[in-house]
Chains A and B, each alone.
Chain A
Amino acid sequence: MSIKKQIAKRIAELIIILIILSFLTFLLMYLAPGDPAEKRLSSQGVAITKEVLEAEQERMGLLRPFMVRYGEWFTGILHGDWGVSFKDDLPVAPKLISGLKNTTILALSSLILSLIVSIPLGIASAVKKNSVLDHIVRLLSFIGNALPNFLISVLLMYFLCIVFNLFPVVADGSIQGLCLPALSLAIPMAGRFTRQIRTEIMEQLDQEYVTGLRTRGVSEKDILIHNVFHNASGHIFTIIALQIGTLMGGSVVIETIFRWPGIGKLVMDSINARDYPTIMGFVLIMGTIYVVINFISDVLYHVLDPRV
């Protein structure tokens, strides 16, 4: 099969997966316990009678058949209409977009931060296998990997904000406020990346071609950068793409802790308010991004290592 055909097939699969994702998301909200209409009325302080409740359910469109509601919701999404928030009647899409923007800033900075640390450390500890450096790097990455990010953020807050007074406690979207949340997300991720990159590089260094290049007098630097890292990069992209899922989950926690105005904080607020359209939008957006990123990383892998 030609590459183009394969990509076309994968894109078709991708679309089917996304449709299933949207269906499951909707189903989940449909099956959810608790009545949003009731929640909404009680939060507005309205005395709930049967008539009032039914009228509100009617108004919110909760009484029509499941498939009709799903169809409407889905076609709406295709047209950019993600529904109206149960909480404040504002359209969901702009909220999600502005949250997504902030989350992207946070996620990208933590991703870059962790890669800046873990790529050199992973390579160095693979090259100097069993050296003191390798042992230290392995210990640090092992500990980093074992730290839940909520814990890191609480500890960072305590030591950097309170004990040493270096950072503001609340991250209101400023650059300074970005530091701690990004660091909290980056630390466990750097631990995982370092471990995985070290393994990848070691595997490449064991390949016969490395000896072959050495006996042809190619310098160790050229071997490492242009051959070993080059060959490992396909795998490294896959590793990164798979971490995006953990990063998304982590950003919900971190944004809530630091009040970073991202999509993760938005979804926690929405969960507390039973604001289903916003939660659905969140799951759909995150799922789509994850699926698309993994698709891209697959294609990239194929480009970088055409043997597969």
Chain B
Amino acid sequence: MSRADVDLAKSGPPPPSLVARLRDNDLVASFLSSKTTAAAGLIALILIVAGLAAPLIAPTDPFNPAANFLMDSLTPPRFVAGGDPRFLLGTDDQGRDLWSAILYGLRISLMIGAFSVLLGGAIGVALGLIAGYAGGWIDSVVMRIADVQLTFPAILIALLLDGVAHALLQKSNREETAFLVLVVAIGLSFWVQYARTVRGSTLVEKNRDYVQAARLIGLSPARIVVRHILPNVMGPVLVIATINLAIAIITEATLSFLGVGLPATEPSLGTLIRIGQNYLFSGEWWIVAFPSLGLATLVLSVNLLGDWLRDALNPRLK
């Protein structure tokens, strides 16, 4: 919102109540008008809360090897013949309670997804703003790098960065750094989209009157970019971020499934599925089934939200 709008709002009638504002808001209205979207939002919310609250609601701590029930490894879920009432979804090969492991896995998947989107977004938006506003050789260099990176699929970039990080880090502290390595690898594989989008909008915005005016009153370029241009180019960034959250979660799960992500001592959903795949043929189906179900539900609901946000924010589709 520009400064003029704010002044108008101040001088007008008193602002409507929160409820009225929500009712009149296009975004909220379109959110509630679609049952699928509302359901997806609810499911995503439940999964996010479950992940965040994992330490509070999980019966056991899957990261603590002492809390594992080695004697009860590969116990089927509670509702199946041979199940144990202590383990709702059964146990894995190390006697971990699968329900707890999934809750913690959800937490890890969401955290890595969110952090890598934040990292990729921050780098991309910053570079896009600088490239678009400064122009010249800075612009060419950033956009050339973006072009080169864009020719490779993100998963491949993440794999390579992961491999290089493995080689650089000592074997002994690989497990402690796995989380950080994943965030950096996935984040760096995603910055290009943000940079290109933000650069494009910046090129348009920087010729607008309000930027010219800011320049005339002698504001520094940094202040113009951060305080004036940035708020006006953030719309599309939000959409990319939602879509990227789903992709980041898939990428993390894939890397962990391939065995280059999180170790078995600190399992994410992908790691659990990797473990479970070994037991597909011996009949212990629950180890692979429940984490897969959790992952698919998470990604699907986030994707539905992203689709809706993209359509809702796109004026051409209205």
Co-complex (A, B): no
Mark B residues whose CB is within 8 Å of A.
none
